[in-house]
Structure 1
């Protein structure tokens, strides 16, 4: 991560999907270090990353709970949702009201989330993994990883994915082929994320070696950090979703409409839980809340994309 990159309090709140008052409270308690530029408080990206890493290790992945979840989801009082989109936090709030269970959030990428589900460590995994051979999202990967597991794949939403570029697109970036240009440096996502898979699949389809892509080894762990790296001029291009571009204030070049789905295991113990999730996804209140955010397509929300029998 670029040590010179920093965020405003509002940007930190957007990244963590909490209110600004929550961030101010964490600052007051000394949990989040800040510095001032004039009257404005800012936070170094490295300090924020350290905070997130600490919380992941102490809250998001409690090994004892995961061991219990692997043997009996029904008896657990907690639900673990994997993924980064802010819509998952909205889903979590609705689930807490419907089930009275505590919602825990893992911010693992799509592929790593599926592996966690395979190990019994996750209840809901969000996925957006593009398969270049079929042009299909998610199912080709899920079939390989969850072999032998009964599961249902349901749509959460659809959204646009593409390039973050600096205001005005000064380098006239238009397509995946531009990534092999010598005057362009990218910021990549971490291994296992949907955005990383999307990039790697299109590089393969375009016969572009990763060695030809300047900055391929640069990695950030979320959409906002990638967009911010473009905004500061640290890199020329980032790969991610449209919403992050608007939050950070960079231009966006749409390249694909991606399907963002949820994976839930089907067992006798969690049948009621799966039904609760489906009821929430198809409800007018949930979909209205998503539509109010903007830049999301809920026309398929709650639709079953695939189900084992």
Structure 2
């Protein structure tokens, strides 16, 4: 049976249910007496099985038919909490359900972790308090917001979607402090933070405990990456350390207050007896690793804070400062969310760890390890 006119209203959860049982498409097809292509077409939304086949599949997977094929009623206007101001010319918003409340953010270039347009979940109405959704609210309850500035979060999201097609992790760019502020306010599900440890202190755990003010949460390691100064290819100005930023000829681009990299820079400048006032461009800010890299690549700056992997992606040189661990802070009441469960399982997989380790300056030896509780 072709999905035809009901295609937009049926959500197929077959892929996630099949993977949860450890079955390939071919294995499931053999058990229910169809070709593998039929299973593929169901999971991709091209084909809706008849009643008998749906019952056979549900029996093999140990679930109900309605668990596999969900009828999504279209929903029009819904009340929403808009966290960041949206421009009148761009009413497109990303929406997710956080503790049974719809939370929305503008879909614009300020938060993108990659190039290209991102699809929205709905359109913000003129009153700024309601949204016209493109899908049913039930689908949004399987989506989570992950805030942070590790570009590898996009890889984590992609791996999670392969495990469970209807559980979606949307990554939004934010400094460590802003990510935790969003989490504390109930405007996000997970915060990524990469403060720098000193002595035996777990700085991410300490910061999370302070930001969440008693709200229980788990801190899980995600990645280790190398931070430093992104410079022009071949490093023509021979920049060797942060002390060189005080040379008058050097044009520098900093990160915003609250960014862990900016805190690291301040610390290293202090160690060599310099203040921010000695650096040409200390108050000039880039809003992301990519923006800073682009400014160096376009000869708008000579040095900028960033990651080795980002510098390599833009064909730039790199001066290392320190390696740091990026952790995920997850409130305890979100641990049972489908997307969070999948995300935690994915972080234990060899595939994710191998891909992270393939990025320049990245390591995955700690990925998935519980660092602490707050």
- The normalised TM-score by structure 1 is 0.71
Please state how far the C-alpha of 1:134 moved relative to its aligned partner.
6.9
Once residues 334 and 93 of structure 2 are traced to their aligned partners in structure 1, the CA distance between those partners, rounded to angstroms, is 28
Kindly indicate whether residue 86 of structure 2 is the aligned counterpart of residue 68 of structure 1: no
Are the aligned partners of 1:132 and 1:205 in contact in 2 as well (CA < 8 Å)? no
5+ residue gaps, structure 2, are 1-85, 104-139
Instruction: Tell me what 2:234 maps to.
Output: 168
1:227-253 alpha-carbon deviations (Å, 9 max, x no partner): 222222222211110011111111101
Once residues 56 and 203 of structure 1 are traced to their aligned partners in structure 2, the CA distance between those partners, rounded to angstroms, is 41
1:289 to 347, 355, 364: 355
Once residues 102 and 352 of structure 2 are traced to their aligned partners in structure 1, the CA distance between those partners, rounded to angstroms, is 29
SS at match of 1:130: coil
Please state how far the C-alpha of 1:86 moved relative to its aligned partner.
3.6
Instruction: Tell me what 2:342 maps to.
Output: 276
Kindly indicate whether residue 140 of structure 2 is the aligned counterpart of residue 106 of structure 1: no
Instruction: Tell me what 2:153 maps to.
Output: 88
Please state how far the C-alpha of 1:99 moved relative to its aligned partner.
7.2
Are the aligned partners of 1:166 and 1:230 in contact in 2 as well (CA < 8 Å)? yes
Please state how far the C-alpha of 1:79 moved relative to its aligned partner.
0.6
Which runs of structure 2 are paired with 1:1-309 in the superposition (5 Å)?
A: 58-60=92-94, 62=95, 65-66=97-98, 68-69=100-101, 76-96=141-161, 97-98=163-164, 100-130=166-196, 137-267=203-333, 270=336, 274-308=340-374
SS at match of 2:225: strand
Are the aligned partners of 1:189 and 1:196 in contact in 2 as well (CA < 8 Å)? yes
Structure 1 residues 199-208 or 268-277, which shifts more?
A: 268-277
Structure 1 residues 114-123 or 259-268, which shifts more?
A: 259-268
1:259-294 alpha-carbon deviations (Å, 9 max, x no partner): 111111112773766543322101112222323444
5+ residue gaps, structure 1, are 1-52
Once residues 177 and 314 of structure 2 are traced to their aligned partners in structure 1, the CA distance between those partners, rounded to angstroms, is 26
Are the aligned partners of 1:132 and 1:201 in contact in 2 as well (CA < 8 Å)? no
- The normalised TM-score by structure 2 is 0.59
Once residues 278 and 97 of structure 2 are traced to their aligned partners in structure 1, the CA distance between those partners, rounded to angstroms, is 44
Please state how far the C-alpha of 1:182 moved relative to its aligned partner.
2.4
Instruction: Tell me what 1:4 maps to.
Output: none
Q: Relative contact order (C-alpha < 8 Å, sep 6+): which is higher?
A: 1
Please state how far the C-alpha of 1:254 moved relative to its aligned partner.
0.9
Structure 1 residues 173-182 or 243-252, which shifts more?
A: 173-182
Once residues 251 and 56 of structure 1 are traced to their aligned partners in structure 2, the CA distance between those partners, rounded to angstroms, is 36
**1:170/1:139 CA distance change after superposition, 3 Å:** same
Structure 1 residues 250-259 or 279-288, which shifts more?
A: 279-288
What is the RMSD of the two structures over their aligned residues, measured on CA atoms?
3.2
Structure whose residues are more often helix by fraction: 1
Aligned length: 253
Instruction: Tell me what 1:26 maps to.
Output: none
Are the aligned partners of 2:143 and 2:339 in contact in 1 as well (CA < 8 Å)? no
SS at match of 2:333: coil
